[in-house]
Amino acid sequence: MAQMNMIQAINSAMDVMLERDPTVIVMGQDVGYFGGVFRCTDGLQRKYGEHRVIDAPIAEGGIIGSAIGIGVNGLRPVAEIQFADYIYPGFDQIASELARLRYRSGGDFFSPVTIRTPCGGGIRGGQTHSQSPEAIFTHVSGIVTVMPSNPYDAKGLLISAIESNDPVVFFEPKRIYNGPFDGDPDKPAVPWTTHPKGEVPEGYYSVPLGAAEVVEPGSDITIVTYGTIVHVAQSAARLAGVDAEVIDVRSLLPLDIDTLRRSVEKTGRCLVAHEATRFGGFGAELATTIQEECFWHLEAPIERVAGWDTPYPHAFEWQYFPGQKRVAAAIRKVMEAA
Amino acid sequence: MSNKSRLHIPQPSARPGEEPDFSYLPVSPAGAVDRPGISAKTRDIEHLAHEMVRVLDDDHQACGDWDPKLEPDDLQIALRTMVLTRTFDARMQRMQRQGKITFYVQSLGEEAVSVGQGMALKPKDMLFPSYRNQGLFILRGTGLVNMMCQCLSNTRDMCKGRQLPVMYHDKEGRIFSISGNLATQYPHAVGWAMASAIKGEDHVAAAWVGDGSTAEADFHHALTFAAVYQAPVILNVVNNQWAISTFQGFAGGERRPFAAKGLGLGIPGIRVDGNDLLAVYAVTQWAAERARRGGGPTLIELVTYRGGAHSTSDDPTRYRPSKEWQAFPLGDPLERLKGHMIREGHWSEDKQSQLEQEMKDKVDAAWQEAISFGTMSEGPFLDPQDMFEDVLEDMTDHLLLQQEEMLALKD
Ligand SMILES: Cc1ncc(C[n+]2csc(CCOP(=O)(O)OP(=O)(O)O)c2C)c(N)n1
Ligand SMILES: [Mg+2]
């Protein structure tokens, strides 16, 4: 097995799929000759040519709209949106077209578009390079929504996304592109080579869409989370001195309700955490689902930790980010409740 | 032609390691393009979108109808502002490299765009800049200290720590808040201009986007609305040849100039030498006059070159020849204006060196003052609880609760 960071793993997923399936096409701003502003498509154009790894004009609506047409005509486009903060000009194409094509045509048409986009803060990117808009996409009905938390899953899930005939929006938490991040910005950066999920097969494999993973078993409390906060939650549980079961949701839609239910029935306590804003966020869906499924097993109210309900402020990145302290405080609150 | 369709992939004229080649870029001789009256019909002046308005020739002489005949004092203001912009940029670029600010965007090589266009507009005209128009702020007197404080996200930051460096605004100076989302300001400018017309005022709006950003739908929305309502707006495309790693052909500049993008809607287009301050001033003045007299919008393409990296996060040696700027046929806007002023006898190399030193001192002093209001690492700092302000006019209950939660966490 090879050691890969998340950028290399994502690159490898596209490489494997471009090789295996001649209908796979990669497109996006700066993805071709340059290899992407985060280098996720580095070397792919040289290897597969300009007709398969295509630079695009700066028009997200155009990228997604044309990807839909490319998909309808038998190819399998993987479109990059340079930052999730810039996906909105393409939102109409996603919500009104991509998400509904199969439904409105009685199942006759579909377009297997995968949209990759870096999300999340922690890189001093200010309010236009830090957003986590995943909940907007899960709300649409008809969009598979995925966010991996490590290189192994990133590659396996991206391969599943590309192979899927359904449209997938694939969020890449950019803070953990180069290494896991436990939420403490003052600690030296840690590379993925120190983490078991930095070991990634070089060839083809897949991680199924719709399957959560218990990343740390425990008995006191279930922490349901995804993306960067998976790592923050693990350290926060240690900080709080609690034996937490940490679940990485991985796939927000479809949601693996079974894994959540089994865990919460066992622990009786639950914390939901994500980096995105809280109000109307995906945490509300998780908390409600768990409440509906496990109410009679719960020993305490479910808590949520999330980004504050403001845009991501440049100067207050670490007061905004739901770091270890906030997650630990919420864990304690759930543990101390009757 | 072949018997199969073929996907065309635009190709830049040179990549790293190759000789720069600007043969794709048509350049008209200085003084060659006529200056029509401001009431000319679009169909009679379509050639302005294809040729290139130039005033300064290779010997720095001003030629032709478009010469705005600026007074020596105005030329000095232009030169001072351009030198100040470049000096400010160099300093801020260095501060980013030293970790004092998180990010920076230079306008190196494009200074004549903001300075020349800003000078040709009136103080009550409203400006909708992109992130590479710092010259507009410097010209309108936003103040170096205020700009630096924004970049530092410190206690005097006009954005209260909420924005990435360079995302300035100046309400009093009538410069709109810069967005990180490309081209969004274009329809805003059109709407502002529509309101100006509705109110019966004669203020015009001006907006700027890069060549790459013209691909965004907002650019096209703006053109449509400007044309339909004949809004008093000047729509500027700064064609600096590159949009991060993609050359201007990827935004549709391969077969027609950007200036021609409005012709189908009846919007006159002017392609201008963006490194020729006099030409930039003259075409902007023409468009502003036309707009003020009810003549509607004008699209101006300013042909220039992005002399530096896209931003401090970018490395252009990966995608373009390193000596490309030196080979750019329209030269350096500062050198050209300076050459002209020396030729006219209003300026000298000595005065230029003095000016450069004066501007360096000014920038140094501004930096010292700016950091006294705080840096990223040393106080005074903004109060984090202020991050909950301004989401809406009044703070909602759920934000108040979150603010309390954050304060409780601190101790
Ligand atoms: C909607 C949107 N999409 C993508 C980006 C990322 N991005 C920032 S600048 C840039 C290139 C812009 O090039 P151009 O319009 O030519 O302006 P220049 O930087 O050359 O001044 C890109 C793709 C963005 N900021 N906003
Ligand atoms: Mg450009």
If you average pLDDT over residues B324-353, what whole number do you get?
98
CATH assignment of the domain containing A52: 3.40.50.970
Query: E strand or H helix at A251, and its extent?
Result: strand A251-253
3-state secondary structure B151-190: HHCCCCCCCCCCCCCCCCCECCCCECCCCCCCCCHHHHHH
Please report which confidence band the pLDDT of residue B4 belongs to, taking 50, 70 and 90 as the band edges.
Answer: confident
Q: Is residue A81 part of a domain?
A: yes
* Token duo for residue A106: 């009685």
pLDDT digits (tens, 9 = 90+) for B21-57: 999 999 999 999 999 999 999 999 999 999 999 999 9
pLDDT higher than 90, residue A311: yes
B259 in Cβ contact with B301 (< 8 Å): yes
Pocket test for ligand 1, best of A31, A37, A58 (most atoms within 8 A of CB): A58
Q: Are residues A163 and A16 in the same domain?
A: yes
Q: Which CATH class is domain B42-380?
A: alpha beta
Look at residue A163 and tell me if it is in a domain.
yes
Q: Are A176 and A150 in contact (CB under 8 A)?
A: yes
Where in chain B are the domains?
42-380, 383-411
Q: What is the CATH number of the domain that holds A234?
A: 3.40.50.920
Active-site residue A129, yes or no?
A: yes
What mean pLDDT is predicted for residues A75-98?
A: 98
Q: Whose CA is nearest to atom 8 of ligand 1?
A: B182
Range B202-208 average pLDDT: 98
A281 domain-assigned: yes
Residue with tokens 């005939």, as numbered in its chain: A165
Can you give the pLDDT at residue B410? 72
With CA atoms as reference, the chain B residue closest to A312 would be B162
Residue of A314, A316, A329 with shortest CB distance to B409: A329
Domains of chain A: total:
2
Q: Could A126 and B245 be called an inter-chain contact, meaning their C-beta atoms sit closer than 8 Å?
A: no
In this predicted complex, what is the ipTM?
0.96
Do A325 and B409 lie within an 8 Å CB cutoff? yes
Task: Give me the helix-helix angle, B111-120 and B277-292, nearest 10°.
Answer: 40
Largest interatomic CA distance in chain A: 62
Q: How far is B208 from chain A (nearest CA, A)?
A: 16
Same domain, A42 and A183: yes
Are residue A168 and residue A196 in the same domain, yes or no? yes
Give the ligand 1 atom nearest the CA of B132: 21
**Which residue segment(s) compose the domain that A304 sits in?**
213-332
Domain limit, last residue, from A179, A200, A221? A200
Task: Name B235's bridge partners.
Answer: B207, B299
Q: What is the DSSP letter of A94?
A: I
Residue pairs spanning A and B at CB distance below 8 A: 123
* For range B401-411, the mean pLDDT: 89
What CA–CA distance (Å, rounded) separates B403 from B383? 12
The closest-lying atom of ligand 1 relative to the alpha carbon of residue B251 is 16
Question: From the CA of B349, how many Å to the nearest CA of chain A?
Answer: 41
Which residues approach ligand 1 with their CB closer than 6 A?
A: A 29, 58, 60, 82, 86, 89; B 132, 180-182, 209-213, 238, 240, 242-244, 306, 310
Contacts of B313 in chain A (CB under 8 A): 37
Q: What is the pLDDT of residue B411?
A: 56
Q: What pLDDT is stored for residue B339 in this prediction?
A: 98
In a domain, A206, yes or no: no
| A14 token code pair | 């596209």
Q: What are the pLDDT digits (tens) for A154-196?
A: 999 999 999 999 999 999 999 999 999 999 999 999 999 999 9
List pLDDT tens digits, range B216-271: 999 999 999 999 999 999 999 999 999 999 999 999 899 999 999 999 999 999 99
Query: Does residue A338 sit within a domain?
Result: no
Q: Which residues contact A276 (CB under 8 A, 6 or more apart)?
A: A131, A132, A133, A134, A135, A282, A283, A306, A307
**Domain stop point among A176, A200, A224:** A200
Does one domain contain both A145 and A221?
no
**Do A263 and A180 belong together in one domain?**
no
Interface test with B, best of A39, A129, A316 (most B CBs within 10 A): A316
- Residues A96 and A15 both lie in one domain: yes
On average, the pLDDT of chain A sits at 97
- Domain boundary (A134, A169, A200) is at A200
The answer to whether residue A184 sits within a structural domain is yes
Question: pLDDT grade, residue B3 (50/70/90)?
Answer: confident
| Residue A55 in domain | yes
Who's near A335: CB < 8 A, 6+ residues apart? A220, A221, A240, A242, A269, A300
